[in-house]
A and B are shown apart, each in its own frame.
Chain A
Amino acid sequence: MSEDTAQQKKPGREYLDAPITKIGAVAWLRANLFNTWYNSLLSVLLVYGLAVTVPPFFKWAFVDSLWNSSAAACRDIDGACWSIIPQNVKFIFLGFFPTGQEWRPILAMAILIGLVIYSRERHRWRKSLLWMWLIALVVMGTLMHGGVFGMPVVETSKWSGLPLTLMLSFFGIIAAYPLGVLLALGRRSRMPTIKTMCVVYIEMIRGVPLISLLFMSSVMFPLFLPEGVTIDKVLRAQVAIIMFTAAYIAEVVRGGLQAMPRGQYEAADSLGLNYGQTMRLVILPQALKIVIPPTVGILLAAFKDTSLVVIIALYDILKTTKVTLSNPQWTNYSTEAYIFLALLYFIFCYAMSSYSRRLERELHTGR
């Protein structure tokens, strides 16, 4: 652009630059920060507020801070004691997993995260990917539980930290999805009994907090089982999370089913497809595609909600952090520990939500 204008300049003529108020930094400031009197006032106040708060925080977090020291050294400084993380990194991330076996949960998490990253590209969404996921889940379960290939068995009560958080969310999401689709189909069914049962289930679950379901799993569920049969606590919490997430997925999927035009059903009918074929080949592929963005929203919520298992004393990453903080040595550095955890959750959730936005953009181009 500027080269064009430069070429048009004729020699022997005087050219003035554009006024400083129209281009460059000053113009930008004028247009974006000082365009009206109250915006000017707001800008000044905000800049003042940032100047007062940001430098002290920066000093606390980066200048006066210690990054890998003993707890005793932290007592003498004014800044943040980030040392709490590296000093307790094994317990915070892996909890009670037996020493010497740490490679197993780390490998399992690496497989999981690798597979998630691999599945991001839409052109890889084929049947083979589904099989890869199934195989990976089995491998991860074997790695965590052990008992074969010379790996000692690790009881689920020892599963803790980040692997537990990731496992509860991913297994929860994977199991809740088909259940949610079935519930949504049931709610749209023309059979009154089926419809009523699905409506009652969905509305009841959506009306109560997840905590009440977790309580149900931890204190009520053992009473439901015949004498001598026990199901371990992690699995019970997992069932509660699945039941909860499924109801929310059902509502999202119902939205997609409702958005399907009647013509699609009629076309499938006129081809002579039965109910199962209609749903599997015509309706669901389209309906589920429409609702991918809101589904990711549900998955995001489910991921954040797994932190609630703290309340029924499962050792997810939030609980292992709290246990670390209950150590008198480290008890004063909860701000640092919580900021670190917040950052960790933020990275996972932000990745998911920006992925959802990308999908929304990509899928927007026609059905």
Chain B
Amino acid sequence: MATTNEELPAKIPFWRDEGKRALVFQAVALVLVAAVGYYLFANTQANLQRQSIATGFGFLDHEASFEIGETVIPYSASDSYSRALLVGALNTIKISFIGIVLTLILGTIIGIARLSTNWLVAKIAALYIEVMQNIPVLLQLFFWYAIFYESFPPPRQALTPVPGVFLCNRGLIFAVPAPHPAWSYMGWTFVAVLIVGWFLNRWGRKRQELTGQEFPAGMITIAMAVVLPLLVWLVAGAPTTMDVPVMRGFNFSGGVTVSPEFSALLLGLVLYTAAFVAEIVRAGIQSVGRGQIEAAMAIGLRPAKVLRLVVLPQALRVIIPPLTTQMLNLLKNSSLAIAIGYADFVSVANTTINQTGQAIEGVAMIMLVFLTFSLLTSLFMNWYNKKMALVER
């Protein structure tokens, strides 16, 4: 353009100054959000007053007066709402934790199976992934729950696939060893072995750095973890009594019962999420170049070491971020428990909302609890991710 400097205005008008324009824009946005917020707040206040709904968290100390089917900590209907909600939160943690562990195991197995050289294994794994990913998890939950409730017989005709294990419409009931001090001794021995094993591993690595000699710390730890608790069991008198469930009246007594609600929820969540985890694991393993494996073999590493020292560390770097998303998905999907009647946090909070009418507090608590859980999970996974990340020069 033929404009010269002299023709330009000395001062830029404020609507052309990017900095000032940004300020105005932000102020407008802020005022808008604040106005909408205030409008909703005022409406809510008026509505609450008109419908004479109490506000605040005072209801937490009131008596809950509803039963919860399964609890981690002791709970009765005469306890307060806060305790009921705590029970719900613990149930959410329980299902999510067990679910995540099982999902990781199953997902890894299916992901590896998908890459198997065995045609049948690879095809079945692929079919599994395709089918599970494309059916809503809620439908799967309903399906498993219906299987438990309708296809399994009543307790009297319970199926016994293995002696001591019963499958009926009251859930999965199985025998456990009867209480005996030997069991806790064995547990403590196992923990002690793990601690010793950790130190052994450290010492072994240090020695390898100094002398170049390898020390099979892992194998020794595994051997100790198997043998020592067994020895303790023998020394403590080798208890073999089992707490076998028996029919009494209309239901079983003794043993451990896993409710149909818990089983259906766990089964649905694990089978659904494992399909996604399998795809992530497959992509992670495929991301490690063939050259890496060939190079590792060329410097004389054994197959197990190739996997542990070369393939896994690189694959995990690709796997961990999407895996975190899937774990969070499982955690969030555990809230579907409400649809089949497992008393997780959302379900308890919903009952609380229905009884007290304090919807705002209830929904706010649900959101807060899940935000906290999500945040904690992603903090942990970010820490792990940082630990595994490539150390660049």
Contact = CB atoms under 8 A, between A and B. Distances in A.
Interface of A: 32-33, 35-36, 39, 42-43, 46-47, 190-194, 197, 204, 206-212, 215-216, 219-220, 222-227, 300, 304-305, 307-308, 310-311, 318, 322, 332, 334-335, 338-339, 341-342, 345-346, 349-350, 353
Nearest to A317: B139
B29 A197 contact: yes
B29 A193 contact: yes
A338 B116 CA distance: 32
22 contacts: A32-B118, A32-B120, A33-B120, A43-B121, A194-B29, A207-B367, A207-B371, A207-B374, A208-B332, A208-B367, A209-B370, A219-B363, A223-B47, A224-B43, A304-B135, A307-B138, A308-B336, A318-B138, A318-B139, A342-B135, A345-B134, A345-B135
B223 interface: no
A329 to B, nearest CB: 14
Nearest to A334: B146
Interface string B103-137: 00000000000001111110010000011011111
Nearest to B122: A32
A226 B26 contact: no
B146 A192 contact: no
Nearest to B333: A209
A73 B236 CA distance: 62
B143 A335 contact: yes
Contacts of B142: 318, 322, 334, 338
Residue of B29, B43, B146, B370 contacting most chain A CB atoms (<10 Å): B146
Given A215-B363, A223-B47, A208 B138 contact: no
Q: Is the interface of A mostly helix, strand, loop or mixed?
A: helix
B130 A350 contact: yes
B359 to A, nearest CB: 4
B311 to A, nearest CB: 19
Nearest to A34: B118
B98 interface: no
Interface residues of B, number: 55
Contacts of B121: 39, 42-43, 46
A32 B139 CA distance: 35
A215 B350 contact: yes
Nearest to A219: B359
B120 A43 contact: yes
Residue of B25, B50, B116, B143 contacting most chain A CB atoms (<10 Å): B143
A208 B332 CA distance: 7
A344 to B, nearest CB: 10
Contact of A223 (B48, B138, B151): B48
Contacts of A225: 43, 47
B359 A223 contact: yes
A211 B363 contact: no
Interface string B341-382: 000001000100100000110110011001100110000000
A211 B139 contact: no
Given A304-B137, A342-B143, A350-B130, A47 B120 contact: yes
Contacts of A227: 46-47, 50
Given A197-B29, A207-B367, 7 more contacts: A32-B119, A208-B371, A212-B363, A226-B43, A304-B136, A339-B143, A342-B139
A191 B359 contact: no
Contacts of B135: 304, 342, 345-346, 349
B246 interface: no
Given A191-B25, A194-B29, A226-B43, A212 B367 contact: yes
